[in-house]
Amino acid sequence: MKVNGKSRVYAIIGNPVDHSLSPVMHNAAFKELRLNSVYVAFTVTSGELKTAILGVKSLGLQGLNITMPHKHAVMNYLDEVDVTAKSVGVVNTVLCDHGKLIGYNTDGSGAISALQENGVYTEEKKMVLLGAGGAAKAIAYQASKDLDELVILNRTPEKAKKLAKSLKSFGAKVKSGTLSQEIVKTEMPTTDILVNATSVGMYPNSGFSPVPSDILHSDLCVMDIIYNPLNTQLAKDARAKGAKVVSGIEMLIYQGAVAFEIWTKLPAPIEVMRKATLNEFKK
């Protein structure tokens, strides 16, 4: 499709955004479905967030992704925030619905879809979730609705405790603790799914893993939500132990797919989005 006067405009806003994979992923999806839509990236500083969001309304943009450092602050400028995003305290997607801005969080459902689509997720499973930051919260909210047992471990245990407490009514058996080698070692033999939602192992500290390799086992599914690098140290260690690995790029693609469906009400062309996103790593 050619960009013209009727094109619908979508954007990611954050700082920095120049390495974001979202424009490539969503523009590939628009092209595949022959939608007259275009997705761009805008660098917005914290001081400019309010005026940028007012601009979104005046310019008539159709949808937004929100990235660091605005995922929490953006809620102050939206007309509505859906219940999951409100509970998590993080908005990563905004629908502009006839001038009304509605905030969503697609990270949790994206992570769970990535696991399910890779054939790993069932209700009887126990998950150990490392981290209690924005992404971990979103995953914990979604996972605790379906899982049998969820253990949240964080460097700052108070945050994990607070998160666990907020999930009590969701059905799963939830406990929390410190992210220490001893506790991870104790939990691992009975764990089915290990998710790293800390930033340990992210570029430029790519050689690090949040857990020692000797505690990993072949019955585990390991999802490291970090996608830079694509193949993290934890993912390498897990593969070497014969564990199933779901990459962070899968979560990125599925959270993008959920956002695409919120905006367009059309099924997201997952394969096209995956191919376009993975192609960026070959450059």
β partners of residue 57: none
Give the binding site for ligand NAP (CB under 6 A): 107, 131-136, 154-156, 159, 179, 197-200, 202, 225-227, 248, 251-252, 255
Cβ of residue 226: shortest distance to ligand NAP, in angstroms?
5
Residue 33 burial (CB count, 10 A): 16
Alpha-carbon gap, residue 152 to 128, rounded angstroms: 6
Closer residue to ligand NAP, CB minimum distance, 56 or 90: 90
Residue 96 burial (CB count, 10 A): 21
Closer residue to ligand NAP, CB minimum distance, 1 or 188: 188
Cβ of residue 250: shortest distance to ligand NAP, in angstroms?
8
Closer residue to ligand NAP, CB minimum distance, 23 or 134: 134
Within a 13 Å sphere around the CA of 163, how many CA atoms are in the beta-carbon half?
Answer: 32
Coil, strand or helix at 166: helix
Alpha-carbon gap, residue 138 to 107, rounded angstroms: 6
Cβ of residue 155: shortest distance to ligand NAP, in angstroms?
3
Backbone angles phi and psi of 42, in degrees to 5:
-120, 125
Cβ density class 137-175: b for 16+ within 10 Å, e for less = bbbbbbbbebbebbbbbbbebebbbebbebbeebebebe
Closer residue to ligand NAP, CB minimum distance, 45 or 156: 156
Cβ of residue 3: shortest distance to ligand NAP, in angstroms?
27
CA angle 217, 235, 177 (to 5 degrees): 65
Closer residue to ligand NAP, CB minimum distance, 57 or 155: 155
Closer residue to ligand NAP, CB minimum distance, 56 or 152: 152
CA 79, 84, 87, 93 dihedral sign is: negative
Give the strand order in the sheet containing 221-224: 173-178, 149-154, 126-130, 193-196, 221-224, 244-247
159 tagged catalytic = no
CB-nearest residue to ligand NAP: 133
Please provide the DSSP assignment of 68-82 as one string. TT-TTGGGGG-SEE-
Cβ of residue 174: shortest distance to ligand NAP, in angstroms?
16
Cβ of residue 264: shortest distance to ligand NAP, in angstroms?
20
Catalytic one among 2, 71, 137, 265? 71
Catalytic site positions: 71
